[in-house]
Amino acid sequence: MHSIAFYNTENFFEAPKKSHADTDRKWTEKRYAEKLKNIGLTISKIGRAETDQHPTLIGLAEIQGQTVLQDLIQLDLLKDCHYDFVFFKSKDERAMDVALLYDTRIFNVESSRAFSIELFDDLGNREYKRDILLVTGVLNEVKIHVLVNHWPSKRESEKLTEPKRLIASNKVSEIISTIIKEDEKALIIVMGDFNDNPTSKSVKRLVYDFKLQNPFEPLRSFSKGSIHNSRQWHLFDQILLSETFFNPEKNSIAFKRAHIFDAEFLKNTEGKHKGTPKRTFKGPTYYGGYSDHFPVYVILGT
């Protein structure tokens, strides 16, 4: 049994240089160390109830640089996980990128590549957002393709930003088309913070066009999601799977179940935000929490 996870870590800045605090976020070495411990603890517990071990693969979002990943996998909490990572620096305007951690004893990376998303503002100027990460490797002697995403946000309003997420969705479609052209039965995992819910057009078109399955669609409810914003729950964090996972051949890997990892230690415990993710920052105010997102994960088995 394997847990495959995704976690938006919320502004995981690199350690400040020479102990100088970041003036905007008051980012200090102490706060960096606390963030490392919080994210490391969370990763170590995802899927453990079902598999009795750490995630085999975990996609991460909002990582500022590879030094964050190097420090993360060297934590005492994660040393026994034998993690390595795949990371490419993009031209993202906020300098926040995606990455993939993987257990080197179980998953063997064959290739990796980053794909940029072509976006332009109203004046025709290029906008730079996070790249889409594609990692191909072997798990349980079976080749799988993992796409890690963090699509453009809704900060400027849903209506204005939807076209940007549709462009990101189109890029994922191009990547999947290339994969299935070589192997129509390819095992494909599309994970990420899509900044859209499972019923949104940008996500649904992937499900319809490529017969992907989205086991997270039934998990969202009035009282449950991966992020709480504007007084309601959203399930922006999802993991989509090719139908091959649901019709496995002998000795292949099959989907078992999907979960939102909303353990109590990740939540606010009092006040009007009780039960929602305990975040690191809200605006300039430091809360010392984990992230404004809950991780999500799927369980795969033979």
Residue-range domain boundaries for the chain: 2-301
pLDDT of residue 18: 54
Q: Residue 251: pLDDT above 80?
A: no
Residue 251 or residue 93, greater confidence: 93
Q: Residue 289: pLDDT above 70?
A: yes
Are 63 and 73 spatial neighbours (Cβ–Cβ below 8 Å)?
no
Are 198 and 249 spatial neighbours (Cβ–Cβ below 8 Å)?
no
75-131: pLDDT as tens digits: 999 999 999 999 999 999 999 999 999 999 999 999 999 999 988 877 778 888 999
Residue 282 or residue 179, greater confidence: 179
Can you say whether residue 243 is alpha, beta or left, with left for phi > 0 and alpha for psi between -120 and 50 degrees? alpha
Are 140 and 302 spatial neighbours (Cβ–Cβ below 8 Å)?
yes
pLDDT of residue 48: 95
Q: At what angle do helices 158-182 and 201-210 cross, to 10 degrees?
A: 20
- 21-30, 45-54, 247-256: least confident range: 21-30
Residue 279 confidence class, pLDDT cut points 50, 70, 90: very high
pLDDT of residue 247: 83
158-191: pLDDT as tens digits: 678 899 999 999 999 999 999 999 999 999 999 9
Are 147 and 112 spatial neighbours (Cβ–Cβ below 8 Å)?
no
Work out the burial of residue 110: count CB atoms within 10 Å of its CB; fewer than 13 is exposed, 13-18 middle, 19 or more buried: exposed
Pairing outcome for strands 97-103 and 232-234: unpaired
For the entire predicted model, the pTM comes to 0.95
Compute the distance between CA of residue 229 and CA of residue 214 in angstroms, rounded to an integer: 22
259-277: pLDDT as tens digits: 999 999 999 998 888 999 9
Separation of first and last alpha carbons in the chain: 7
Query: Could you write out the three-class secondary structure of the chain?
Result: CEEEEEEEEEEECCCCHHHCCECCCCECHHHHHHHHHHHHHHHHHCCHHHHCCCCCEEEEEEECCHHHHHHHHCCCCCHHHCEEEEECCCCCCCCCEEEEEEECCCEEEEEEEEECCCEECCCCCEECCCCEEEEEEEECCEEEEEEEEECCCCCCCHHHHHHHHHHHHHHHHHHHHHHHHHCCCCEEEEEEECCCCCCCHHHHHHHHHHCCECCCHHHCECCECCEEECCEEECCEEEEECHHHHCCCCCCCEEEEEEECCCHHHECCCCCCCCCECCCEECCEECCCCCCCCCEEEEEEC
Compute the distance between CA of residue 102 and CA of residue 165 in angstroms, rounded to an integer: 27
Mean confidence (pLDDT) of the chain: 93
Q: At what angle do helices 66-73 and 29-45 cross, to 10 degrees?
A: 60
Average pLDDT of the segment spanning 18-30: 67
143-160: pLDDT as tens digits: 999 999 999 997 766 678
Compute the distance between CA of residue 116 and CA of residue 137 in angstroms, rounded to an integer: 21
Best CATH choice for the domain 2-301 from the list 3.40.50.10420, 3.30.300.30, 3.50.40.10, 3.60.10.10: 3.60.10.10
pLDDT of residue 125: 81
Average pLDDT of the segment spanning 59-70: 98
